[in-house]
Amino acid sequence: MSRHGLEAVAAYDASSRPRDVRSEVRLWLLRIIVVATLVLAYNYVIWRWLESVNWAAWWIAVPLVVAESYSVIDVTLFGLTMWRARTRADPPSPAGDATVDVFIATYNEPVELVAVTAKAAKRIRWPHETWILDDGDRPEMRAAAEKIGVGYITRGREWHDRPRHAKAGNINNALMETTAEYLLILDADMIPRPEILDRTLGYFRDPKVALVQTPQVFSNVATGDPLGSQAPLFYGPIQEGKDGWNAAFFCGSNAVLRREALMQLGIVGYVREVEATTARRLRQAFRIVRRAQRRAAAGSAAAVALAETSTALLHARQALGNGEPLAEVTYTLQRRADAAAAGVVFDDLRAIQADLAAIAGLDGDGGSASASFDADELLEGLATRDLSPLNALEAVQLALRAVDVDRGDEAQAVMPLATISVTEDMATSMRMHGLGWRSVFHKELLADGLAPEDLSTALTQRLRWAQGTMQVFLRENPLFSRGMTLAQRLMYFSTMWSYLSGFATVVYLAAPVIFLVFGVLPVDSWAPEFFWHFLPFFIVNQLLFLVAARGLPTWRGQQYSLALFPVWIRACVSAFGNVVFRLPLDFAVTPKTKQARAGVPWRKLLWQLIAAIVLVVAVVVGVIRVVVLQDEFVGTVVNVVWVSYDLLMLSVLVGAVRYRGYVSEETVIASEGEAR
């Protein structure tokens, strides 16, 4: 292990201490700095909006002040997170009868890598059962599990031709085949330490605790962390801050969960999904009937039947909204719809079949319309057509038959882990908190992970994380999720909000370039006034991060936060396209081993390269303009410093490109010995 890796281990091992007077003093000092930062931040941004926007150059001045406002909101959320940073005491001893299943989720990772994790899991001291969840259904993985003496689970036939939901589906499948009270979930490359359950199960003596999350620290990170793999600020002060608000969330691995909470999630999710589907079917049927009523002859039997059906649908929608039992609502509606249509003779059956065939794209030779289209598409198509009254009544019957209580489109009716994004973790814990469960962040290194060893893999990993987070943001925005406290909503929102930083970064890169090249100043203020408002905020803000980090290295993370701006933008755009327009997500499973032919991912770094070149050219042009025009000396100096800072942040990618993978100190020593 490198010196950097040893330092990371030491930082996380020196944890779980009872809060002492020193910790209390540090917390109050942190709160004072938070207040000072926010006062100065809002003083600055209000001044910017009211007095210093150069409206003559609004096209860059407004984006810049909007980006600054975004950053102030980001600082506000960070300060709120730190306000109740929680240092937990050691947990109580676990209940002696606690049963545990250890899940090792795998898809295509090397069998040897998974075997190492499985052997370590088997050595966990607390009595448990270890299971390899092989989503690749590999005979060699099954054989390895048998040899090691651990369980092996893969998907059954019910998953064929059904959505698989990646890792969430893999774990949901295993939940139905196991019975232990608690689950330890591990990624294939997270090697657990023997004491992991002894140190975490005690928290579950509180019957409302559903989740205990521990840090993810990587042992194969070279000194200097060239790929920015470690996240000491997140798996430390930030999660401790969220823990203070009961909002520490599931991070996908190195976590223990209560089965009862997960199953409750699955059942509640099932009920809500069926209710939502039923409400959608009723809306579709109501639209179909209302359109048909306009075509029905007044006083005709069809018009009377349509009016009665419309009233029945309206009453059913109201009953469903009032929380009446779903089965009773649909049964009553079915009887009323049947009664309304009982006296009507469907003598235009061919017209009905033609309408359905036209929507489903059939050739009219007797095929079933619903066989080719899902119910939503079929009914939405019918709702936009001018059907005859008789056809409309038949379409209502189709809508009622399409209420799928068994969720036949899924392999399992009950899905405990959330399946709304490519990452299952955040949405699952968010739903847990919405149901009143509690979570814990236990800051102690209890599993040793393997980080990506090439830049391409690291970028793929970051993209997946960001895409999953933004999918949750767009599908279940925490600000509007039921059941959570306001603080919990803001804690989840702050994580999602941070991934919008890519758009602000573009503005921060563009503003100094525009001034240096074209002389357009987005800030309408003389220099001393600007510095008087900006510098105090900037200095105290940096102090806030230093005090919050408590000596942990955070510079690499700050560099990557800016340098990966194209990744964050791509994640936001692709997630939006997936959720809103149902476009496929450019998702890939993160490789767990070094990619032999990965090379330098120049295409993935194209925008960073362009940005760096433009910044350098802008500095040259800006200096020439000062020399030739003898003007804007102070502004040029300020913007050159700004550009230098941006280039320093982007420079982290130079080391990342040159990085050729982790080499242990033992290997280096052995190589030196052979050379001698």
Chain segment 391-409, per-residue pLDDT in tens: 777 778 777 777 767 788 8
Share of the chain above pLDDT 70, in %: 87
pLDDT at 343: 61
pLDDT at 663: 78
pLDDT at 57: 97
pLDDT at 60: 97
pLDDT at 670: 47
3-state secondary structure (DSSP) of residue 362: coil
3-state secondary structure (DSSP) of residue 104: strand
- Mean pLDDT of all residues belonging to the chain: 88
110 or 330, higher pLDDT: 110
**CB 435, CB 208: distance < 8 Å:** no
pLDDT at 303: 86
Q: Inter-axis angle of helices 501-518 and 555-563, to 10 degrees?
A: 70
**CB 378, CB 388: distance < 8 Å:** no
CA distances from 2 to 415, 457, 655 (A): 41, 21, 17
**pLDDT score of 676 more than 70:** no
3-state secondary structure (DSSP) of residue 670: helix
Per-residue confidence at 363, pLDDT binned at 50, 70, 90? very low
**pLDDT score of 660 more than 60:** yes
pLDDT at 591: 65
pLDDT at 408: 80
Instruction: Fill in the amino acid letter for 149.
Output: G
- Among 28-32, 290-294, 425-429, 547-551, the least confident range: 290-294
Q: What is the pLDDT of residues 568-600, one digit of tens each?
A: 999 999 999 999 999 988 666 666 566 655 578
Q: Could you give the CA distance from residue 126 to residue 212 in angstroms, rounded to a whole number?
A: 16
Average pLDDT over residues 337-354: 63
The single-letter DSSP state of residue 177 is T
Q: Could you give the CA distance from residue 381 to residue 359 in angstroms, rounded to a whole number?
A: 6
**pLDDT score of 671 more than 60:** no
Per-residue confidence at 263, pLDDT binned at 50, 70, 90? very high
pLDDT at 529: 93
Q: Could you give the CA distance from residue 72 to residue 297 in angstroms, rounded to a whole number?
A: 63
Provide DSSP, 442-473: --S--EEE---SSHHHHHHHHHHHHHHHHHHH
pLDDT at 63: 98
Q: What is the pLDDT of residues 370-381, one digit of tens each?
A: 444 566 777 677
597 or 159, higher pLDDT: 159
449 or 602, higher pLDDT: 449
Residue 73, number of CB atoms within 10 A of its CB? 16
Look up tokens 């943001």; give the residue: 473
- Among 237-241, 425-429, 659-663, the least confident range: 659-663
Q: What are phi and psi of 492, to 5 degrees?
A: -70, -40
| Three state DSSP letters for 508-574 | HHHHHHHHHHHCCCCECCCHHHHHHHHHHHHHHHHHHHHHHHCCCCCHHHHHHHHHCHHHHHHHHHH
**pLDDT score of 666 more than 60:** no
For residue 582 the two structure tokens come to 């149902």
